[in-house]
Protein backbone atom coordinates (compact mmCIF):
# COMPACT_ATOMS: atom_id res chain seq x y z
CA UNK A 1 0.00 0.00 0.00
CA UNK A 2 1.42 3.39 -0.86
CA UNK A 3 1.68 6.30 1.57
CA UNK A 4 -0.84 8.48 -0.26
CA UNK A 5 -3.52 5.83 0.26
CA UNK A 6 -2.98 6.19 4.01
CA UNK A 7 -3.27 9.99 4.14
CA UNK A 8 -7.04 10.37 4.34
CA UNK A 9 -7.71 7.57 6.87
CA UNK A 10 -4.75 8.74 8.96
CA UNK A 11 -6.01 12.35 8.97
CA UNK A 12 -9.52 11.21 9.91
CA UNK A 13 -8.14 9.04 12.70
CA UNK A 14 -5.99 11.90 13.95
CA UNK A 15 -8.91 14.29 14.12
CA UNK A 16 -11.25 11.71 15.64
CA UNK A 17 -8.86 10.49 18.33
CA UNK A 18 -7.94 13.95 19.48
CA UNK A 19 -11.38 15.51 18.93
CA UNK A 20 -9.98 18.39 16.95
CA UNK A 21 -11.87 19.89 14.08
CA UNK A 22 -10.00 20.33 10.84
CA UNK A 23 -8.82 23.86 10.20
CA UNK A 24 -11.60 24.29 7.65
CA UNK A 25 -13.91 24.82 10.63
CA UNK A 26 -11.77 27.80 11.57
CA UNK A 27 -11.59 30.54 9.03
CA UNK A 28 -8.00 31.24 8.02
CA UNK A 29 -7.22 34.68 9.37
CA UNK A 30 -7.44 37.27 6.59
CA UNK A 31 -4.42 39.04 8.03
CA UNK A 32 -1.94 38.65 10.85
CA UNK A 33 -3.62 38.57 14.24
CA UNK A 34 -2.74 41.30 16.71
CA UNK A 35 -2.70 40.53 20.42
CA UNK A 36 -2.57 43.13 23.19
CA UNK A 37 -1.25 41.94 26.54
CA UNK A 38 -2.62 43.09 29.88
CA UNK A 39 -0.01 45.87 30.04
CA UNK A 40 -0.99 47.22 26.61
CA UNK A 41 2.00 45.76 24.73
CA UNK A 42 1.20 44.54 21.22
CA UNK A 43 2.39 41.35 19.54
CA UNK A 44 1.42 39.49 16.40
CA UNK A 45 0.69 35.82 15.79
CA UNK A 46 3.48 35.87 13.18
CA UNK A 47 5.97 36.76 15.94
CA UNK A 48 5.82 33.11 16.99
CA UNK A 49 6.47 31.56 13.58
CA UNK A 50 8.75 28.56 13.92
CA UNK A 51 6.92 27.26 17.01
CA UNK A 52 3.60 25.61 17.57
CA UNK A 53 1.16 28.17 18.98
CA UNK A 54 -1.80 27.11 21.06
CA UNK A 55 -4.22 30.03 21.07
CA UNK A 56 -6.60 29.34 23.95
CA UNK A 57 -9.71 31.50 24.34
CA UNK A 58 -11.04 31.58 27.90
CA UNK A 59 -12.88 33.67 30.48
CA UNK A 60 -12.66 34.01 34.26
CA UNK A 61 -16.30 32.92 34.67
CA UNK A 62 -15.89 29.71 32.60
CA UNK A 63 -15.62 26.52 34.78
CA UNK A 64 -14.06 24.29 32.03
CA UNK A 65 -11.52 27.05 31.35
CA UNK A 66 -10.43 26.86 35.00
CA UNK A 67 -10.07 23.08 34.82
CA UNK A 68 -7.71 23.19 31.84
CA UNK A 69 -5.43 25.97 33.14
CA UNK A 70 -3.05 23.67 35.09
CA UNK A 71 -2.49 21.52 31.97
CA UNK A 72 -1.85 24.61 29.86
CA UNK A 73 0.63 25.83 32.50
CA UNK A 74 2.48 22.48 32.47
CA UNK A 75 2.46 22.29 28.67
CA UNK A 76 3.77 25.85 28.33
CA UNK A 77 6.50 25.22 30.92
CA UNK A 78 7.62 22.05 29.13
CA UNK A 79 7.69 23.56 25.63
CA UNK A 80 8.18 27.36 25.78
CA UNK A 81 11.93 27.22 25.32
CA UNK A 82 11.78 24.56 22.60
CA UNK A 83 8.92 24.08 20.19
CA UNK A 84 5.61 25.54 21.40
CA UNK A 85 3.92 28.35 23.28
CA UNK A 86 0.49 28.87 24.78
CA UNK A 87 -1.20 32.22 24.33
CA UNK A 88 -4.23 32.69 26.56
CA UNK A 89 -6.77 35.05 25.03
CA UNK A 90 -9.04 36.47 27.71
CA UNK A 91 -12.36 36.66 25.88
CA UNK A 92 -14.46 38.91 28.06
CA UNK A 93 -14.87 42.59 28.72
CA UNK A 94 -13.83 42.93 32.35
CA UNK A 95 -11.27 45.23 33.89
CA UNK A 96 -7.65 44.31 33.13
CA UNK A 97 -6.81 44.45 36.86
CA UNK A 98 -9.35 41.69 37.53
CA UNK A 99 -7.85 39.52 34.79
CA UNK A 100 -4.29 40.12 36.09
CA UNK A 101 -5.32 39.20 39.64
CA UNK A 102 -7.09 36.09 38.35
CA UNK A 103 -4.06 35.02 36.27
CA UNK A 104 -1.79 35.51 39.28
CA UNK A 105 -4.11 33.49 41.52
CA UNK A 106 -4.06 30.64 38.97
CA UNK A 107 -0.25 30.85 38.58
CA UNK A 108 -0.60 31.24 34.81
CA UNK A 109 2.88 31.30 33.27
CA UNK A 110 1.92 31.91 29.64
CA UNK A 111 1.09 35.25 28.03
CA UNK A 112 -2.44 36.51 28.65
CA UNK A 113 -3.66 38.76 25.89
CA UNK A 114 -6.79 40.09 24.25
CA UNK A 115 -7.61 40.48 20.60
CA UNK A 116 -7.25 43.96 19.18
CA UNK A 117 -11.02 44.34 18.72
CA UNK A 118 -13.47 43.99 21.61
CA UNK A 119 -14.95 40.59 22.37
CA UNK A 120 -18.53 40.45 21.11
CA UNK A 121 -19.21 36.87 22.21
CA UNK A 122 -19.69 35.63 18.66
CA UNK A 123 -16.58 36.12 16.54
CA UNK A 124 -12.81 35.89 16.63
CA UNK A 125 -10.11 36.56 14.03
CA UNK A 126 -10.32 32.79 13.42
CA UNK A 127 -14.06 32.87 12.68
CA UNK A 128 -17.27 32.29 14.64
CA UNK A 129 -16.89 31.34 18.29
CA UNK A 130 -18.75 28.15 19.25
CA UNK A 131 -18.09 28.40 22.99
CA UNK A 132 -15.43 28.60 25.67
CA UNK A 133 -12.85 27.33 26.05
CA UNK A 134 -11.78 27.17 22.42
CA UNK A 135 -8.25 26.39 21.30
CA UNK A 136 -6.61 26.82 17.91
CA UNK A 137 -3.50 24.90 16.89
CA UNK A 138 -1.17 26.95 14.73
CA UNK A 139 1.65 24.94 13.12
CA UNK A 140 5.22 26.28 13.07
CA UNK A 141 4.70 27.50 9.49
CA UNK A 142 1.89 29.78 10.71
CA UNK A 143 -0.98 27.68 9.34
CA UNK A 144 -4.03 27.18 11.55
CA UNK A 145 -4.34 23.40 11.39
CA UNK A 146 -7.08 22.62 13.92
CA UNK A 147 -9.63 24.04 16.31
CA UNK A 148 -11.32 22.58 19.37
CA UNK A 149 -14.21 23.85 21.42
CA UNK A 150 -13.92 22.28 24.85
CA UNK A 151 -11.14 21.52 27.26
CA UNK A 152 -7.65 20.46 26.25
CA UNK A 153 -4.91 18.87 28.32
CA UNK A 154 -1.15 18.56 28.07
CA UNK A 155 -1.17 15.02 26.65
CA UNK A 156 -3.75 15.95 24.00
CA UNK A 157 -1.67 18.91 22.82
CA UNK A 158 1.55 16.91 22.73
CA UNK A 159 -0.09 13.99 20.92
CA UNK A 160 -1.63 16.30 18.34
CA UNK A 161 1.70 18.01 17.63
CA UNK A 162 3.51 14.69 17.32
CA UNK A 163 0.89 13.01 15.13
CA UNK A 164 0.44 16.05 12.89
CA UNK A 165 4.21 16.36 12.42
CA UNK A 166 4.49 12.66 11.57
CA UNK A 167 1.61 12.94 9.10
CA UNK A 168 3.21 15.96 7.46
CA UNK A 169 6.60 14.20 7.25
CA UNK A 170 4.93 11.14 5.66
CA UNK A 171 3.52 13.41 2.93
CA UNK A 172 7.00 14.37 1.79
| Local confidence band at 5 (pLDDT 50, 70, 90 cut-offs) | very low
Choice between 8 and 137, residue whose per-residue pLDDT is larger: 137
End-to-end CA distance of the chain: 16
Residue 8 lies in a domain: no
Residue 105 lies in a domain: yes
pLDDT given at position 31: 84
Residue 107 lies in a domain: yes
Rg (CA), the chain: 16
Residue 4 lies in a domain: no
pLDDT above 70 (res 137): yes
**CATH number of the domain where residue 45 is located:** 3.40.30.10
Query: Tens digits of per-residue pLDDT, 116-135?
Result: 877 677 889 988 899 999 99
Share of the chain above pLDDT 70, in %: 83
Q: Which domain holds residue 119?
A: 21-154
Query: Tens digits of per-residue pLDDT, 41-93?
Result: 999 999 999 999 999 999 999 999 999 999 999 999 999 999 999 999 999 99
Give this prediction's pTM: 0.85
Residue 159 lies in a domain: no
| Local confidence band at 22 (pLDDT 50, 70, 90 cut-offs) | low
**What are the helix (H) ranges across 3-139?**
3-17, 63-79, 96-105
- Please tell me the distance from the alpha carbon of residue 115 to that of residue 58, in angstroms, as a whole number: 12
Residue 1 lies in a domain: no
Q: Mean pLDDT over residues 140-161, rounded?
A: 94
Residue 106 lies in a domain: yes
DSSP secondary structure code for residue 47 in this structure: G
Residue 14 lies in a domain: no
| Local confidence band at 9 (pLDDT 50, 70, 90 cut-offs) | very low
pLDDT above 60 (res 11): no
Q: CB 154: neighbour CB atoms within 10 A?
A: 18
Q: Mean pLDDT over residues 4-18, rounded?
A: 42
pLDDT given at position 14: 41
Bridging pattern class, strands 52-58 and 84-90: parallel
Domain count, the chain: 1
Is the distance from CB of 62 to CB of 133 less than 8 angstroms? yes
Amino acid sequence: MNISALKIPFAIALLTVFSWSPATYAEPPKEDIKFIDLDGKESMLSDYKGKWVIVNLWATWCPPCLVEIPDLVMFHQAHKDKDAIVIGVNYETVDVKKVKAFADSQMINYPIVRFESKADGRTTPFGPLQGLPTSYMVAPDGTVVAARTGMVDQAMLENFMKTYSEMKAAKK
